[in-house]
Amino acid sequence: MPATVKILYDNLWPTITRLAKESKRKHIAVAYIGSGASRLLPLGKDDVLVIDMGTDTVKSGQTNPYEAEKYLKKGVRVYTCSNLHAKIYIFDATLLIGSANVSQHSKNNLIEAGLMCRDKTVLTQARGLIRSLQAEPVTPKYIELCRKLYEPPRPWRGTKKKRKHFSTPLHSRLWLLSISPVYLSEEEERLCHDGEERASKKIKDTRKFEISSIRWTGKSRILRCIKEGDLVVQIWNDKKKKKVYPPSRVVQLTHFQSFDERKSPMMFIHIEEPSHPRLMSWLAFKEKVEKAGVGNTGRNPQREIRSVQAVHTILGLWS
């Protein structure tokens, strides 16, 4: 039986390239990609690549926008994170964390090392970490800008230019919301419809996503604190069935008061939901998140997940 964890050094790049060719699903977060990156790390349609493609990084030649463009044309989902320094490679059920950026310099000139792991819990957390970094997509228009800024690195020349300081990226808040079917009045139906109309204009891919709405009532922390861009995991209660939906992003909030004498604060949370979501049983979800340190989730949780490890675990369950 293969070892769960082992270290790679002289065979690091041959292993990465081989795994990239053999694997069906790749999720990569690596600081820099240089010339020849698309050959060293072959990726395909719907694979995920997070890189540091900030303008300073492009100007200094550390990230090559032409390589990012090649990935985009192959259907790779490319994102940029301007203070990324991690090197995380996930190939199906294999995780590799090490020192290597994707470049010929790394392959031919540097002593690199990586730790290869097939532990399921660690893999889930790593997938969640990469998912949490997918905030800023690289677009063809941004590639065009970067191509104008790019200056190829000179051999063996270190950069002395002081880079701008970037704070640690603040990942989107993640909320667990227990949801049950509700009846909407005519006034609420109208407000919800108007909110969904506005929210639908923010959907990135109408073939894969659609707008769904949650009505929220009462003076709760959720009503005060939830923001556009946050992530919501719905625990759907319908009679005896209890299913958990994958994380969906909040794209619009509609605040209003109840249409009775009490004028209670209410809102519709409009989320960008997968058109064909992969549901998980409540018991399976509960077991996994409690192992990740969430603690007792209760029967009908309404809470924010604050533990970074727990957030990564939950996000990784659907990656």
190/275 same-domain check: yes
296 pLDDT more than 80: no
- What pLDDT score does 168 carry? 41
Q: Residue 87 maps to which CATH number?
A: 3.30.870.10
191 pLDDT more than 70: yes
Phi, psi values for residue 7, rounded to 5°: -100, 140
246/110 same-domain check: no
153 pLDDT more than 50: yes
Assigned domain for 63 exists:
yes
9/145 same-domain check: yes
Domain count, the chain: 2
45 pLDDT more than 90: yes
- 194-204: pLDDT as tens digits: 999 999 998 87
The model's pTM: 0.72
- 65-103: pLDDT as tens digits: 999 999 999 999 999 998 899 999 999 999 999 999 999
112/213 same-domain check: no
The amino acid sitting at 258 is: S
| Distance separating alpha carbons of residues 125 and 117, to the nearest angstrom | 12
Name the more confident of 295 and 238. Answer: 238
pLDDT confidence bin for 63, thresholds 50/70/90: very high
Q: What is the mean pLDDT of the chain?
A: 88
44 pLDDT more than 70: yes
- What pLDDT score does 289 carry? 82
154 pLDDT more than 80: no
Average pLDDT of span 176-194: 92
Nearest to 222 by CA among 183, 268, 188: 268
* Range of the structural domain that residue 276 is part of: 174-316
Residues 6+ away with beta carbon under 8 Å from 84: 29, 30, 31, 50, 51, 52, 133
167 pLDDT more than 50: no
83/43 same-domain check: yes
